[in-house]
Amino acid sequence: MREFDLIIIGSGIVGSSLAYYSSKKEKKVLIIEKNYSGFNS
C-alpha cells in the first residue's frame, strides 16, 4: 500500500499551490481530481 503525507481533493489554484509547496518540503502528496488538473483555476 502506498502512503502519503498529504491528500488533496481538488486541483484548483489552492490545491495545486498546496501540492507544489508541500512537495518542495519533500512531502508525499496525492491529488484527487474528477476533471483534469487545473480545471477550475
* pLDDT score for 35: 79
* pLDDT digit string, tens, across residues 11-28: 889 999 999 999 999 999
Q: Distance between CA 11 and CA 13 in Å, rounded?
A: 7
pLDDT band, very low/low/confident/very high, at 37 (cuts 50, 70, 90)? low
